[in-house]
Amino acid sequence: MISLRINGNKYDVDVDPETPLLWVIRDHIGFTGTKFGCGIGECGACTVHIDGEPVRSCSYQAGDAQGTAITTIEGLSPDGSHPVQKAWVAEDVPQCGYCQSGMIMATAALLDEKPHPTDADIDDSITNICRCGTYPRIRKAIHLAANTKGEA
């Protein structure tokens, strides 16, 4: 039995400690906003926060997450009012939308660390892959979120 704190709530799940956290979040807890992309921690579709840091949950063992605070896209803001989510809508970022929850989680972590990132900061920190190629809109939304973060 593993005990996890996800989005502020405690969940006890009967899984092998080596199970990827992604599958525990999706299949055992039922939060499906975190997506499976590549399965090797490269694309970032599965990004969640562990103690505020962005982590690729497909390659992070559930047993290693015990005793941490895990935040999924559902826990970022239940009503979509987080500045990054609002900026995503304002800049019409998603095309297919598959990568967006991971991209938003990575961006939220970046803005917590660097409230006003430069383009170089964005290039260094946001390594998630968007198959639709909406990178110019993503960058614009990140800057918009940075400029409005204090207003939320």
Asked if the 83-151 domain carries CATH number 3.40.50.720, the reply is: no
pTM for the predicted model, two decimal places: 0.94
Q: How is the chain split into domains, by residue range?
A: 2-76, 83-151
The pLDDT score that the predictor gives to residue 148 is 87
Q: Is the pLDDT of residue 151 over 60?
A: no
The pLDDT score that the predictor gives to residue 149 is 67
pLDDT tens string 33-83: 999 999 999 999 999 999 999 999 999 999 999 999 999 999 999 899 999
Q: Is the pLDDT of residue 20 over 70?
A: yes
CATH architecture of 2-76: Roll (3.10)
- Taken as a whole, the chain contains a residue count of 152
Element (H, E) at 124: helix 119-125
HEC string for 89-102: HHCCCCCCCCCHHH
Dist. CA 96–CA 114, nearest whole Å: 28
